[in-house]
Amino acid sequence: MEEWRKLALLLCVYGVLKELRPLEPYITRFLTTPPMNFTDNQINIEIYPISVYSNMISLFVVFLVTDMLRYKPIIVLNSLAGILLYVMLIFCRSVFAIQLVEVLYGLYIACEVAYYTYIYAKVDKSHYQEVTGYTRAAYLTGRALSGVASEVLFQWVGLELLNLAEITLGILIISCFWAISLPPVEESIYFNRTSPAENRTPTDNSLIYNVKKGFKLLYDDFLQAFEQIKIYKFVLWWAACNGGYLQINKSDPDNNHLMMNGAVEAVCTSMGALGAYFFGRMTGVNWNRWGELGLAIGALALGADLVLMANTKSIIIAYLTYIAFSIIYNAVVTIAKAQIAIRIKPDSTGLVFGVTIFLALVIQTLITIVLVQLLELSAKLQFAMYGYYYLIIGSAFALKFLCGLRCWKRQENGPGENDVDDSPARTDQPVMSIIG
């Protein structure tokens, strides 16, 4: 087996292990039943919002130091944060302690940036397309297995939720040892890059030089990526819709805590992957011309789906709408990510994706502050508001498409007008290559 494939396999095994958390589909039920016994109000107002703020702050710091520390330490930190938070879940019972758990959970999620960028520093650029697909597949596989395991162990075998927490802790300990076994990164993308053309005097301070050079490369890549006007619609859609998606994944639309969360999580993950695969194969679509329309339809469908979910009293419909939401979001976000990726150079993919995710976290934070902590809306009313939020996004993109369509018609009917250049800035990367 080629060396780069071995590295990808090692990282993918870690990706499956870190996502294999059987308790997570039932975390709300775990917090509201013995021995925890927190109320819905405590969970939604005092506990869950903490992870949102922690994630946003942690991502900003982790994003800067991941490349500087050469990835592997942050991957190990990812597992250590998971281990500590599950130890606290098992043994701690106070609101303050569980708030600390949410701080660790925010750090845990933020550290995932190292998982997605480690492989780019270890393999040649010619393999970026394949390893991106592999790491995303590992993530989805872990999520699906987590849902199946939680359903089998809790509903069929009859284990207690505390037992699921203990099993999750054991898996995270294994993932930590696996992370430690990963090969170190000698040369990273920004802060530890060497070049034969570099000429430095013996008096140069290596650390200071690398930091300055790293920030200069970051700044140059940022400017080069965001100088391209055609990526903005996809960045804005991804940031705005992902902000709502993160908040929805953190909430429970049903105060009775539905009984088949594990199975639904497995179905959502699997169907979401299929939706991403199907839309990723749609390489014949001119997304420069029809991009706003596709993004508008996606956001409007997400909004209608959430409004229906918030107003239904049927558990079956609630599950089906949640599954549909996952399919639609994963399908359209695949298009958005791919269209961003094919317009920027491979080295800056992690940078642009990181900036976009940070914007999404800022949006999620604002949503949390207004709807959850200031207005203290019920879970169902929150989901209705998320639905209207998506409907507004979809309407804005639809209006942008109609304005653009009018301009195109004028250009097509005007004599002597130049053809509109709808080709991407880079076409060497097929849409299906970026799913993660």
Between 211 and 193, where is the model more confident? Answer: 211
Domain match, 281 and 176 both: no
Domain match, 160 and 243 both: no
Burial 136-173 (b: 16+ CB within 10 A, else e): bbbbbbbbbbbbbbbbebbeeeebebbebbbbbbebbb
Summarised one tens digit per residue, pLDDT across range 40-61 is 889 888 999 899 899 989 988 8
Domain match, 174 and 313 both: no
Is 216 domain-assigned? no
Domain match, 402 and 336 both: yes
Residue 259 has what pLDDT? Answer: 55
Checking 70-73 for CB contacts under 8 A at 24+ apart, the result is 70/121, 70/184, 70/185, 70/186, 70/188, 70/192, 71/114, 71/117, 71/118, 71/121, 71/185, 71/188, 72/114, 72/118, 72/179, 72/182, 72/183, 72/184, 72/185
Domain boundary among 188, 207, 242: 188
The Cα–Cα gap between 262 and 341 comes to 33
Checking 219-227 for CB contacts under 8 A at 24+ apart, the result is 221/345, 221/347, 221/348, 221/351, 222/348, 222/351, 222/352, 222/355, 224/344, 224/345, 224/348, 225/343, 225/344, 225/345, 225/348, 225/351, 225/352, 226/352
Domain match, 395 and 304 both: yes
Strands in 3-55 per DSSP E? none
How many domains are there within the chain?
2
Three-state SS across 281-345?
CCCCCCHHHHHHHHHHHHHHHHHHHHHHHHHCCCHHHHHHHHHHHHHHHHHHHHHHHHHHHCCCC
Domain match, 122 and 182 both: yes
| Of 77, 74, 180, residue with least CA distance to 117 | 74
Is 211 domain-assigned? no
Q: Is the dihedral of CA 162, 168, 172, 173 positive or negative?
A: positive
Summarised one tens digit per residue, pLDDT across range 114-156 is 887 788 778 877 776 677 777 877 887 888 888 889 989 988 8
Looking at every residue in the chain, the average pLDDT score rounds to: 81
Summarised one tens digit per residue, pLDDT across range 166-209 is 999 999 999 999 999 999 887 777 776 665 445 444 445 567 77
CATH number at residue 271: 1.20.1250.20
Domain match, 115 and 253 both: no
Q: Is the dihedral of CA 276, 277, 278, 280 positive or negative?
A: positive
Domain match, 136 and 274 both: no
The Cα–Cα gap between 236 and 405 comes to 20
Is 193 domain-assigned? no
Is 294 domain-assigned? yes
Average pLDDT, stretch 281-288?
Answer: 64
Is 288 domain-assigned? yes
Asked if 393 and 237 count as a contact pair (C-beta separation under 8 A), the reply is yes
The Cα–Cα gap between 291 and 224 comes to 22
**pLDDT band (50, 70, 90) for residue 250:** low
Instruction: Return the residue matching tokens 């705005």.
Output: 240
| Residue type at position 174 | I
**pLDDT band (50, 70, 90) for residue 83:** very high
Domain match, 134 and 277 both: no
| Of 286, 277, 27, residue with least CA distance to 133 | 277
Q: Which residues contact 29 (CB under 8 A, 6 or more apart)?
A: 161, 257, 261
| Of 337, 328, 246, 323, residue with least CA distance to 291 | 337
State which H helix or E strand residue 24 sits in. Answer: none
Between 304 and 233, where is the model more confident? Answer: 304
Cα torsion at 167, 254, 41, 244 (round to 10°)? 90
| Of 197, 245, 204, 220, residue with least CA distance to 356 | 245
Average pLDDT, stretch 417-427?
Answer: 44
> 91: domain range?
1-188
The Cα–Cα gap between 364 and 61 comes to 18
Domain match, 47 and 176 both: yes
Domain match, 273 and 396 both: yes
Domain match, 165 and 232 both: no
Is 213 domain-assigned? no
